[in-house]
Structure 1
Amino acid sequence: MLDLTKLARQMQGLSQHLTLEAAASRQRLELAQQHLKNAYESQQDLIDRQEKWRDRILFANATPIEPLETCIDIPVPPKIHTVIATDGSQIAPNHHEIAYCYLLNIGRVVLHYAQNRHPLLDSLPEVFYRPEDLYMSRQWGIRTEEWMSFRRTASEATVLAELACAAKGEAPALAMVDGSLIYWFLEQLPIDARDRILPPILEAWQQMRDAQIPLMGYLSASRSIETMNFLRLLACPHPVPDCKTYCPNQLEKVACKIFEQLRDTSVWATRLKPGQRSTLWRSNSPILELYGDQTIYFCYVHVGTEIARIEVPAWVAENVTMLDQALGLMLAQVQKGYGYPVAIAEAHNQAVVKGGDRARFFALLEQQMIKAGLKNVGTSYKEARKRGSIA
């Protein structure tokens, strides 16, 4: 139980800290804006330096594909279109429950506009209980709970491709997911483990590519600093951006980290008007080397309520017509959802496993275990006591 009386004593110190941080953030923003303007004239030189020294640069950065001053109005989408989205949730394995297993629930949404067709709003649950499902990841030092979330990501992509290909018709379509298409977590995985997650995702993307249905990742409140890190090349005081020689410890205060803690969205919020997108960028994350010809591009869009980061595979970014149409459909989704894409929100609502759903799941499991002749079926004493206080 939270003691609000004791907590209130700490609030004054917190508010003072936030006030000082807000002032420092304004100074960083002004500095970043100035560097961005200076980079307009030297953009190609910065890109050349970035490419030449890419193996020596120790911070994540992106490459602009268009002029840095780009601010493009997103075109109005066609009235007749289809939007597909998936999202996932889970019941994590727990040794204190009646059985050690986990459940993945993938929410599915297909919305048809101006087509006189019924929408699809449902979910696909799947229970994992076999030893190979529960313990395989431990050979790579990965906890079952982590492995469960990795498999959920792959399942979301696979189901999305199935829905998109099934919904393909004459009307334009857009497939959307919540979050990034750059799966940073895969960088730390052993090769054998990674090969069980990434190939199904890329195969699903290829299916959508073959069907000519654009794929898009929507990031709300993005914390990315990839475009700010590109400006660090301009702020570098050394002859060349050779981090390994001049600044090997990036955790220390280095000369070019003048925008530290400043997010990309803060700068683009000062540049974009509602309904506009920023420069198109290519991410240089090391994991993208495994994506083949489906590397990830991104831009920032003023959707009216915030600056959203939009990610697409290369085959969408390189098709101007497809990209413009996809961005228009995305913006319409945000407007229909009062600030957030309605298809993604509904997919989340379909996927989420509430407390009552969890209780009914284990009640159903208990019935089946008793029916199978198992005895002493029940939760641990610890779990039983946590669910009710006797004090």
Structure 2
Amino acid sequence: MRAAWDARARGAQAEAEWRQRWQAYAAAYPREAAELQRRWAGELPADFADRLHALVEQMHAQAPTVATRKASQMALEALTAAVPELLGGSADLTGSNLTQTAVTPALRVDASGALARDAQGRLGRHINYGVREFGMAAMMNGIALHGGYIPYGGTFLTFSDYSRNAIRMAALMRQRVIHVLTHDSIGLGEDGPTHQPVEHAASLRLIPHLDVWRPADAAETAVAWGAALQRTDGPTALLLSRQALPALPKPDSTLAPQACGLAAVARGGYIIAEPHAAGFKARKKPKAVLLATGSEVALALQAQRLLAEEGIPVRVVSLPSTTVFDRQPLEYRLAVLPRALPRIAVEAGSPDFWWKYGCAAVVGVPGFGESAPAAPLFELFGLTPANIAATVRAVLAGA
């Protein structure tokens, strides 16, 4: 029995033969062999950091008012060209998730089962997974484990429930898998509560080793994609809006210069506006901190201006990735969220997650959504600049 199961000699012979073939290939095609070894090692192209920096700067300078799902596609156009091992896909929602780019034709096979080429002679780099969210997530895990590719796949955030076990396994196995989860809040509108995620962002943030990003504009989206690709020790979920979001300025802070500006976005949380952005003097100290993610950062900035009209100085913090922010040194986190200032969180999702930051109040969505356009829904749930400002006033009055 032992002899029948003992494959050590056969394995050693097969490996020796493979190594001989590899050495012959590397000698004949040294450039291709080096590229293959780079991909197997999980290393990004040598110029990736420079190209990412240029992309982020470009997205910030262009300042487009677009949905972050569209900003994601804009980023992917550059990234799929720069990183040939990116292998995309979508669970029957390509036109909504916007995961396909000009250089990622659909992956197809011919009648013999061999990979087919498109009219330009290109092999496919985008998989149509069908209505199979779990199957997509599980296949991406397998692709990542095989090596040589960086898989990403899209679906609606609410359908991440179907993918959850495979997302959890990617986190457990520390695999570089990227989930593009669009239509990230009640802002998706008339599809109603079956499609409107409420608890999903909070629940994904609870999975160990899963980085979750919910960017507020195009520049933050580009940074999020860069972080996901540069990360080699776990998966990433990108939570992206259906509705268009304005580009947001990222000025300096004289009170905490190390925690502001475009470079600070990669730290997961940063000061996006000090009181002086709303008309106060340069070193005016805030009386409270508004912290928000995604589409609600713009609302927090509008609330800051309303409060400034009443003489109430407020700091606004964008937290595109609480998971990344939580890994920052304590000194940095306290520079962004000082202990002495009351904190008010704003997110179009379950409020419960935000109490971990010692918030005095949370403006969120405590129940399921409703079927209506985005604007009336935000009004219904109090996700408005006026209600956010009123919440800050109430907190300060009770302090």
Q: Normalization by structure 1: what TM-score?
A: 0.25
Q: Normalization by structure 2: what TM-score?
A: 0.25
Return the structure number with greater strand share: 1
Higher RCO (Cα < 8 Å, 6 or more apart): 1
